[in-house]
């Protein structure tokens, strides 16, 4: 036995990484002459203590669930989809086209239609990098980065030259028609006596994000395809021997991943802005990387990590409003989380493994005798 | 298009290609040694901020350059720590470095200067000035050659000449020295280098360090020569264009120069003309912006000559026992 127990790997490693990231963030806050404890209190106050704060936290979390799941699904096939940002942008285009050009009778039919459209557009944007990886061996990280920039250019062109209404100045589409407006949490949960989630952008898309978590769990752990994806991710050669087509898995996984990233646009475009604007994604595609890493690519983990980042985002906005700490603090925290849970994973894992080993060491310290001895 | 306009576009091409070239060569050293680096962008950004900040505080642009290089080197060490020492995922480490730089630069800029995440504008000795090469004035009258010499070749800041001089230097270092041979070997077959009794870890750290220095110069050029001061996210994807150029050049120094000049030209044309009317149809400015990335994908796809990265690229080296 030279491994840590499963729970330590799944809970302890990310937790320690998170604490390290938090300590460093606190040092950064001290470095710019602010009080980290007061800052944290302010964040909790603004993000969790009022229902409108929760409304924002959940709104941001919805974005991060989608993009986090997108990265997580790709991780299971050992593919690093860094193109969630671009896929979400193009997904937004899908949402906008569906909402603007199809006369929907009411919001739930519109939501289903827009979901399909968003997923389709996002998936298509992931198809070319996936195909190139599978068939031509082009590194998917590089191609998806390139496709982020190409997506930004495409969106810029379409918004400026095609979808911008006559006479409008800013590069955005017209407002979506009334039947496509999604119910917000304020409309769903407020009673006459007690208004809830006042003014917050959280909307019904949050529940679609929860459904997506369930979908991904079922897909990865309860279907044949999910088994093939995990097998491919663990060992490509073994998967090939078992008759799993690498081309098929790569393409299908990336299509699912791109579709999930594209669905993020439902929340920002259809749920909040009710029109497509230039920078609708606001970097959520990249936060998906941090979320997936922290959530260990498990839907439950992704959900929790997305909630944490939703809290950080809303709390960060509060900080920028009330203190001298700019919003960019969140980008730093995000970077530290990616660094510790992703790149420096071994730095946390190695000492922890040693610790567990020394704790379970039996009174025969000689390694060789332990190996040749009877199984424990 | 008359001759003078052409010269101006080419002049602007040289200016815009310089940061790309420096970052591209930086990536070349790192990736040839088997360490993928998508953190070029972040390192340039950190260098841009610290060079502008120190240059504006001390009023000495050379101090700024030093600070920029130091900042970029610090991030390089972090990348080395994550990807060489702790054998982490090099791509994820690069992503983290990009975000770290994007966040920290604005945070520190706000703390130091309180100008909304920018530094004060650099004046006088706080900037790299244009160097007028000898004879540029007197030769300007000669037709054709004169304007090319005085407008295009003369009148850039010292870092531009450094960047262009780095190309033959890099070529010589990689292909004509023992160090270069080992560096290339460590990116192709680290186990062979290890067997020969040369430290894989040491070589890779040196490569990542050179990458940090060059990124530092690239960032300092952006903030203290091309522009006069740091603004938020001022690298604007240049690190990724440099990465694209590196792939386009198939990890070779001279081709890196051509690729960076090509991408610089695209930027210069997009900057000057916006939408280009070709008569039959109009080329939108967004297409020009996206062209470096599209070209890179085409090259990566292997339809026009295949780009094969160093064989051991992206994989941490584990010594055999």
CA distances from A279 to A86, A171, A181, B132, B242 (A): 11, 10, 20, 43, 24
Q: What is the mean pLDDT of chain B?
A: 88
Q: Which of B 64-123 lie inside 8 A of A, CB atoms?
A: 78, 81-83, 86-93, 95-100, 102-104, 106-108, 110-111, 117
C-alpha of B163 from chain center: 9
pLDDT at A10 over 70: yes
B287 vs A153: CB contact, 8 Å cut-off? yes
Smallest CA-to-CA distance from A359 within A9, A5, A19 is with A5
pLDDT at residue number B293: 87
Tokens read off for B267: 């930027």
Per-residue pLDDT, averaged over B240-258, amounts to 90
N-terminal to C-terminal alpha carbon distance within chain A? 8
pLDDT at residue number B48: 94
pLDDT at A371 over 50: no
- CA-nearest residue of chain A to B232? A328
pLDDT, one tens digit per residue, over B308-321 is 778 888 788 887 76
Is residue A145 less than 8 Å (CB to CB) from chain B? yes
pLDDT at residue number B6: 86
pLDDT at A232 over 50: yes
**pLDDT class for B305, splitting at 50, 70, 90?**
low
Residue of B35 and B131 predicted with greater confidence: B35
* Contact (CB, 8 A) for B45 and B111: no
Q: Nearest CA of chain A to the CA of B79: how many Å?
A: 9
Tokens read off for A64: 């991060």
Residue of B147 and B256 predicted with greater confidence: B256
Strand partners for B299: none
- Report d(CA B227, CA B214) in Å as an integer: 18
> Domain map of chain A by residue range?
20-25+34-355
- Report d(CA A66, CA A226) in Å as an integer: 18
Strand partners for A372: none
Length reported for chain A: 376
pLDDT at A2 over 60: no
A344 vs B296: CB contact, 8 Å cut-off? no
pLDDT at residue number B222: 92
Residues whose CB falls within 8 Å of the CB of residue B216, separated by 6 or more in sequence, listed in order: B43, B47, B51, B65, B68, B69, B70, B71, B72, B73
Is residue A27 less than 8 Å (CB to CB) from chain B? no
- CA-nearest residue of chain A to B283? A157
Residues of B in Cβ contact (< 8 Å) with A325 = 107
- At residue B44, φ and ψ (nearest 5 deg) are -60, -40
pLDDT at residue number B287: 86
- CA-nearest residue of chain A to B282? A161
* Contact (CB, 8 A) for A68 and A83: no
pLDDT at A374 over 50: no
pLDDT, one tens digit per residue, over A153-195 is 999 999 988 888 888 888 888 888 888 888 888 888 877 777 7
Burial label for B8, CB within 10 Å (0-12, 13-18, 19+), is middle
Is residue B318 less than 8 Å (CB to CB) from chain A? no
How many Cβ atoms sit within 10 Å of the Cβ of residue A294?
26
Instruction: Measure CB to CB from residue A138 to each of B90, B99, B300 and give the nearest one.
Output: B300
CATH of A20-25+34-355 among 1.10.3470, 3.40.50, 1.10.20, 2.60.40: 1.10.3470
Torsion sign across C-alpha atoms A290, A296, A299, A301: negative
Q: Nearest CA of chain B to the CA of A206: how many Å?
A: 27
B96 vs A338: CB contact, 8 Å cut-off? yes
pLDDT at B281 over 80: no
Q: Which of B 231-250 lie inside 8 A of A, CB atoms?
A: 237, 240, 243-244, 247
How would DSSP label each residue in A226-266? HHHHHHHHH-HHHHHHTT--HHHHHHHHHHHHHHHHHHHHI
pLDDT, one tens digit per residue, over A288-312 is 988 998 888 999 999 999 999 999 8
pLDDT at B183 over 90: yes
**E strand or H helix at A69, and its extent?**
helix A51-76
Torsion sign across C-alpha atoms B84, B214, A340, A283: negative
- CA-nearest residue of chain B to A292? B92
Q: Nearest CA of chain A to the CA of B97: how many Å?
A: 7
Is residue B6 less than 8 Å (CB to CB) from chain A? no
Smallest CA-to-CA distance from B204 within B318, B107, B128, B95 is with B318
Is residue A156 less than 8 Å (CB to CB) from chain B? yes
Instruction: Measure CB to CB from residue A343 to each of B93, B237, B244 and give the nearest one.
Output: B93
Residues of B in Cβ contact (< 8 Å) with A156 = 286, 289
B93 vs A156: CB contact, 8 Å cut-off? no
Q: Work out the angle between the directed axes of helices A205-222 and A224-234 (0-180°, nearest 10).
A: 70
Q: What is the mean pLDDT of chain A?
A: 87
Strand partners for B212: none
pLDDT at residue number A375: 43
A331 vs B111: CB contact, 8 Å cut-off? no
pLDDT, one tens digit per residue, over A337-348 is 889 888 888 888
pLDDT, one tens digit per residue, over B3-62 is 888 888 898 999 999 999 999 999 999 999 999 998 999 999 999 999 999 999 988 889
- Report d(CA A376, CA A113) in Å as an integer: 57
Q: What is the DSSP letter of A297?
A: T
Residues of B in Cβ contact (< 8 Å) with A343 = 82-83, 86, 88-90, 92-93, 96
A142 vs B300: CB contact, 8 Å cut-off? yes
- CA-nearest residue of chain A to B295? A146
pLDDT at residue number B200: 92
pLDDT at A124 over 80: yes
* Contact (CB, 8 A) for A289 and A338: yes
Share of chain A above pLDDT 90, in %: 43
Q: Which of A 163-202 lie inside 8 A of B, CB atoms?
A: none
Per-residue pLDDT, averaged over B72-100, amounts to 91
Is residue B200 less than 8 Å (CB to CB) from chain A? no
pLDDT, one tens digit per residue, over A251-276 is 999 999 999 999 999 999 988 888 88
pLDDT at residue number A8: 77
**pLDDT class for A364, splitting at 50, 70, 90?**
low
pLDDT at A368 over 60: no
pLDDT at residue number B177: 94
pLDDT at A376 over 50: no
- At residue B185, φ and ψ (nearest 5 deg) are -65, -35
Tokens read off for B186: 């460590």
**pLDDT class for A369, splitting at 50, 70, 90?**
very low
Instruction: Scan for tokens 């020394």, then name that residue.
Output: A358
CATH class name, domain B3-301: mainly alpha
For B165-202, b/e burial (b = at least 16 CB within 10 A) is ebbeebbebbeeeeebebbbbbbeebeebbeeeeebee
Is residue A289 less than 8 Å (CB to CB) from chain B? yes
pLDDT, one tens digit per residue, over B188-222 is 999 999 999 999 999 999 999 999 999 999 999 99
pLDDT at residue number A288: 92
Segment among A255-259, B119-123, B256-260 with least mean pLDDT: B119-123
Instruction: Measure CB to CB from residue A339 to each of B93, B104, B111 and give the nearest one.
Output: B93
Instruction: Scan for tokens 């950004």, then name that residue.
Output: B45
pLDDT at B140 over 80: no
A331 vs B289: CB contact, 8 Å cut-off? no
pLDDT, one tens digit per residue, over A59-118 is 999 999 999 999 999 999 999 999 999 999 999 999 999 999 988 888 889 999 999 999
Show the DSSP H helices in B33-139 as ranges.
40-58, 61-80, 90-113, 136-139
């Amino acid at each position: 036995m030279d491994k840590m127990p499963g729970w330590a790997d799944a809970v302890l490693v990310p937790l320690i990484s998170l604490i390290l990231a938090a300590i460093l963030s606190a040092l950064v806050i001290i470095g710019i002459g602010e009080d980290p404890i007061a800052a944290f209190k302010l964040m909790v106050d603004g993000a969790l203590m009022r229902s409108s704060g929760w409304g924002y936290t959940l709104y941001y979390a919805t974005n991060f669930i989608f993009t986090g799941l997108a990265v997580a699904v790709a991780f299971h096939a050992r593919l690093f989809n860094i193109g969630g940002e671009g896929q979400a942008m193009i997904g937004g285009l899908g949402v906008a086209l569906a909402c603007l050009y199809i006369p929907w009778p009411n919001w739930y039919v519109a939501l289903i239609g827009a979901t399909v459209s968003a997923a389709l557009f996002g998936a298509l944007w992931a198809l070319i990098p996936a195909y190139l990886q599978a068939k031509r061996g082009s590194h998917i990280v590089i191609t998806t980065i390139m496709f982020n920039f190409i997506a930004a250019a495409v969106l810029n062109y379409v918004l400026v030259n095609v979808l911008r209404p006559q006479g409008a100045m800013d590069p955005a589409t017209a407002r979506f028609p009334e039947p496509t407006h999604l119910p917000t949490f304020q409309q769903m949960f407020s009673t006459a006596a007690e208004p809830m989630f006042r003014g917050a952008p959280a909307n019904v898309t949050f529940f679609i994000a929860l459904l997506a978590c369930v979908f991904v769990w079922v897909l990865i752990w309860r279907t044949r395809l999910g088994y093939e994806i995990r097998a491919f991710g663990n060992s490509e050669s073994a998967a090939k021997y078992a008759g799993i087509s690498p081309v098929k898995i790569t393409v299908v996984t990336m299509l699912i991943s791109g579709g999930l990233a594209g669905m993020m646009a439902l929340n920002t475009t259809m749920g909040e802005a009710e029109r497509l604007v230039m920078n609708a994604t606001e970097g959520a595609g990249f936060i998906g990387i941090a979320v997936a890493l922290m959530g260990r690519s498990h839907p439950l983990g992704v959900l929790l990590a997305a909630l944490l980042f939703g809290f950080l985002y809303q709390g960060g906005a509060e900080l920028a409003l009330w203190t001298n700490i700019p919003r960019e603090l969140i980008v730093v925290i995000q970077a530290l989380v990616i660094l510790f849970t992703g790149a420096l994973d071994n730095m946390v894992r190695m000492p922890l493994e040693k610790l567990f080993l020394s704790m379970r060491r039996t009174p025969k310290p000689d390694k060789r005798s332990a190996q040749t001895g009877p199984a424990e | 298009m008359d001759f003078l306009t052409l010269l101006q576009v080419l002049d602007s091409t040289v200016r815009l290609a310089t940061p790309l070239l420096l970052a591209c060569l930086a990536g070349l050293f790192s990736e040839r040694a088997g360490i993928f680096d998508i953190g070029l962008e972040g390192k340039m950004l950190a260098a841009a901020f610290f060079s502008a900040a120190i240059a504006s505080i001390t009023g000495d642009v050379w101090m700024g350059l030093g600070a920029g290089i130091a900042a970029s080197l610090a991030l390089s060490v972090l990348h080395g720590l994550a990807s060489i020492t702790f054998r982490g995922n090099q791509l994820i480490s690069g992503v983290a470095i990009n975000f770290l730089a994007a966040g920290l630069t604005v945070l520190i800029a706000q703390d130091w200067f309180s100008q909304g995440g920018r530094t004060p504008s650099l004046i006088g000795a706080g900037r790299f000035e244009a160097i007028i090469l000898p004879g540029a004035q007197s030769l300007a009258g000669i037709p054709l050659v004169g304007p090319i010499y005085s407008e295009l070749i003369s009148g850039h800041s010292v870092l531009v000449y450094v960047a262009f001089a780095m190309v033959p230097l890099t070529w010589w270092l990689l292909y004509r020295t023992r160090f270069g041979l080992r560096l290339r070997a460590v990116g192709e077959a680290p186990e062979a280098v290890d067997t020969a009794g040369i430290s894989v870890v040491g070589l890779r750290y040196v490569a990542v360090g050179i990458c940090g220095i060059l990124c530092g110069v690239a960032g300092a050029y952006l903030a203290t020569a091309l522009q006069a001061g740091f603004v938020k996210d001022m690298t604007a994807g240049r690190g990724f264009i440099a990465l694209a150029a590196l792939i386009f050049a198939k990890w070779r120094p001279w081709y890196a120069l051509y690729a960076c000049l090509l991408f610089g030209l695209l930027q210069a044309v997009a900057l000057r003309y916006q939408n280009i009317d070709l008569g039959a149809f109009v080329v939108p400015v967004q297409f020009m912006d996206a062209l470096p990335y599209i070209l890179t994908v085409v090259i990566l796809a292997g339809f026009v000559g295949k780009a094969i990265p160093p064989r051991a690229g992206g994989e941490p080296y584990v010594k055999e026992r």
